Amino acid sequence: MSWPFRLSTPIYMSFDRRPDRQEALRRRLPTRGLNALLVTHVPNVRYLTGFSGSAALLLVTLERTVLITDSRYALQARQEAGAVADVEIEPTNLWDRLRRVIDEMESGNGAGGITLGFEPDHLTVALAGRLKSAFTGRAEPVEGLVEELRITKDTQEVEAIRSAGTLAVEAVDAVLHTIRVGDTERAIAGRLEFGLRERGSEWHPFPTIVASGPRSALPHALTTERPVGRGELLLIDFGAQLGGYCADLTRTVVVGAPPDGRQLEVFDAVRAAKDEAVEGLRPGMAGREIDALARNVLEQRGFGGAFTHSLGHGLGLEVHENPRLARSSEVPVPVGAVVTIEPGAYLEGWGGIRLEDDVVVTQAGAEYLSTPSPELLAL
């Protein structure tokens, strides 16, 4: 695929699944004793309506979908969400407008009042106070109503993640050829982030991690001004975003010299763990079972204690979504889920190696959405 990448229209425009998503949510409301849900988590608002702004209250009832946002987004909200939601523009206080919308609904509903659910994971104490002022009826915290719908990706969502992954691989491949001994971690990160944006990435889903030498043993290292030494490991964890959808990848290379025996040994163990997880993954397996596929390989190779995090996580409008591929997860991974596979081995004082790619779960197993790195590259 040539760059710059472009999604010329929002991903829902070729076949609009937003009404189906809203109807699926409506069917779930009575199962929780609700007839309305207040959606405050921005990715959930985007999933249901297409609205990409940073400030919104979304009220979904059994009959209506009302998007409330401020005057900064007056045109944008109508363009992005007007076909599937009643857009209310509030120049001062969104919560005051929410109260008026609910009052109007209740006054026109002879069957009774609103029983409202809200997203407790995405409502601060301060905002909970505003909700209490805006709505005096019964309000119930409900977790995961929208997030559970988001686990299963449709074809357009999968293709957006695939495109983001392809873009990200092209960007990192171009930057790898420029890396030299003495380059700082921060300079490498800057060149990569420029390459991602140059190719069309809308933003960076998370701060780029570039960790060299012994610092590569820190799974979530902060990128610093440390210069890369000859023969050192260089771990790069990065992402891209297209149409709001994220890719999340990690590459580990050696700078300025051929890899030594220890580096090749650890890399081969991590690669074997990733291959086992990708090849063995089947829909319906619990997250802990998929994690165990990779973990068992590393344990057999003597690096079980060096694999200090979970195997992976869901990927979509957020870089960390359900389902989790973790030792504690009993949740089955369904067809249509997109997850990262990212085993690693981290040895204090020596360094670490992580390999990460994105896959979609199909009836036949796991399908790569990004091109994996086949060998330990020497730059």
Q: What is the pLDDT of residues 64-86, one digit of tens each?
A: 999 999 999 999 999 999 999 99
The average pLDDT across 116-127 equals 93
The pLDDT of residue 317: 98
Let me know whether 200 and 104 are in one domain.
Answer: no
Q: Which of 97-111, 278-292, 317-331 has the lowest mean pLDDT?
A: 97-111
Is there a domain that residue 373 lies in?
no
Residues 6+ apart with CB under 8 A from 44: 58, 119, 122, 146, 147, 150
Let me know whether 49 and 95 are in one domain.
Answer: yes
Listed residue (64, 34, 71) closest to 48, CA to CA: 64
Is there a domain that residue 134 lies in?
yes
Let me know whether 126 and 237 are in one domain.
Answer: no
For 184-232, give the DSSP string: BHHHHHHHHHHHHHHTT----SSPPEEEEGGGGGSTTPPP-SPBPPTTE
Cβ burial 191-203 (10 Å sphere, 16+ → b, else e) = bbbebbeebbbbe
Let me know whether 141 and 236 are in one domain.
Answer: no
The pLDDT of residue 106: 86
Let me know whether 162 and 235 are in one domain.
Answer: yes
The pLDDT of residue 226: 98
Q: What is the total count of domains within the chain?
A: 2
Is there a domain that residue 375 lies in?
no
Q: What is the pLDDT of residues 160-170, one digit of tens each?
A: 999 999 999 99
- Taking the model in full, what pTM does it have? 0.94
Chain-centre distance for alpha carbon 354? 18
Is there a domain that residue 374 lies in?
no
Q: What is the pLDDT of residues 187-224, one digit of tens each?
A: 999 999 999 999 999 999 999 999 999 999 999 999 99
Let me know whether 196 and 129 are in one domain.
Answer: no
Listed residue (240, 292, 346) closest to 1, CA to CA: 240
Residue span of the structural domain in which 166 resides: 155-368
Let me know whether 57 and 206 are in one domain.
Answer: no
Let me know whether 243 and 349 are in one domain.
Answer: yes
Let me know whether 204 and 251 are in one domain.
Answer: yes
> Domain containing 315 — which CATH number?
3.90.230.10
For 3-49, give the DSSP string: SS----S-TTSSS--HHHHHHHHHHHTGGGT-SEEEE--HHHHHHHH
The residue from 149, 165, 198 where one domain ends is 149
Order the strands of the 312-314 sheet from edge to edge.
Answer: 321-325, 312-314, 338-341, 357-362, 365-368
The rounded distance, in Å, linking the Cα atoms of 113 and 301 is 62
Residue 10: pLDDT over 70: no
Let me know whether 68 and 120 are in one domain.
Answer: yes
Is there a domain that residue 10 lies in?
no
Is there a domain that residue 4 lies in?
no
> Domain containing 46 — which CATH number?
3.40.350.10
263-270: long-range contacts (C-beta < 8 A, 24 or more apart)?
263/233, 263/353, 263/376, 264/376, 266/303, 266/345, 266/347, 266/353, 267/353, 267/376, 269/297, 269/298, 269/301, 269/302, 269/303, 269/345, 270/298, 270/303, 270/343, 270/344, 270/345, 270/353, 270/354, 270/355
For 266-333, give the DSSP string: HHHHHHHHHHHHHHH--TT-BHHHHHHHHHHHHHHTT-GGG--S-SEEE-SSSSSEEEEESTT--PBP
The residue from 131, 149, 167 where one domain ends is 149
Is there a domain that residue 2 lies in?
no
The residue from 134, 149, 164 where one domain ends is 149
Is there a domain that residue 73 lies in?
yes
